[in-house]
Structure 1
Amino acid sequence: MATGSGRQPAERTLDANLLGSNVSFNYSETWLAYSIFGLRLVMAWVFLQAGLEKLAEGGWGDPLAWSSAGYLNNAVADANPLSGLFAWFGELATIVDPMVIFGQILIGLALLFGLFFRFAALMGAVQMLFFWTAAWQDGLMAGFPVENGFFIDSSFVYMLLLFGLAAWGAGRILGIDATLEQSDIVQQNPWLRYLLG
Structure 2
Amino acid sequence: MNFDYSQGMTGYVLVLTRLITGYWFLHAGWTKLVGPEAFDASGWLVNATGGSPIHGFLLWAGQTPWMVEFANFMIPAGEFLIGLGLIVGALTRLAAFFGGVLMVFFYLGNADWSHGIVNGDLFGLLMFAIVGTLAAGRIYGLDAIIEKMEFVRQRPALKYLLG
Higher relative contact order (CA 8 A, sep 6+): 2
Q: Does 1:65 align with 2:38?
A: yes
CA displacement at 1:77 relative to structure 2: 2.2
- Note the 1:34-113 alignment, pairs <5 A: 34-57=12-35, 65-74=38-47, 76-90=48-62, 91=64, 92-113=67-88
Q: Displacement of 1:156 after TM fit?
A: 1.0
Equivalent residue of 2:24, what SS? helix
Paired AA for residue 29 in structure 2: G
The Cα shift of 1:78 comes to: 2.3
Identity of aligned residues (%): 33
Q: 1:119 aligns with which of 85, 94, 102?
A: 94
* Structure 1, unaligned runs of 5 or more: 1-13, 17-26, 59-63, 137-145
- Cα-Cα RMSD: 1.9
* CA offsets 1:24-75 (integer angstroms, 9 cap, x no match): xxx89311111011111100111011001111225xxxxx52211011112x
For residue 188 of structure 1, the aligned residue among 147, 150, 154 is 154
The answer to whether 1:149 aligns with 2:115 is yes
Q: Which residue of 2 aligns with 1:129?
A: 104
Tell me if 1:158 matches 2:124. yes
**CA distance in 2: counterparts of 1:50 and 1:37, whole angstroms:** 20
One-letter identity of the residue aligned with 2:33: L
Where does structure 1 differ by over 2 angstroms across 4 or more consecutive aligned residues? Answer: 77-81
- For residue 175 of structure 1, what is the aligned residue in structure 2? 141
- TM-superposed CA distance for 1:147, in Å, is 4.8
C-alpha separation in 1, matches of 2:134 and 2:10: 10
Instruction: Tell me: CA distance 1:155–1:79, structure 2 relative to 1, closer, same or farther (3 Å).
Output: closer
After TM superposition, the score normalised by the length of structure 1 is 0.75
**Structure 2 unaligned blocks of 5 or more:** none
Shift of 1:155: 1.2
Determine the C-alpha separation between the residues in 1 that align with 2:70 and 2:6. Answer: 45
The residue identity in structure 1 corresponding to 2:148 is Q
SS of the aligned residue for 1:150 comes to coil
Whose helix fraction is larger, Structure 1's or Structure 2's? 2
CA distance in 2, matches of 1:116, 1:193: 9
Query: Structure 2: which amino acid aligns with 1:189?
Result: R
Greater strand content = 1
CA distance in 1, matches of 2:18, 2:38: 30
Deviations for 1:111-146, whole angstroms, at most 9, x for unmatched residues?
00000000000000000000000012xxxxxxxxx2
2:51 & 2:95 partners in 1: Cα distance?
Answer: 32
In structure 2, give the amino acid aligned to 1:186: V
Give TM-score scaled by structure 2 length.
0.90
Distance in 1 (CA, whole Å) between partners of 2:143 and 2:53 is: 39
Instruction: Return the alpha-carbon distance in structure 2 between the equivalents of residues 160 and 193 of structure 1.
Output: 22
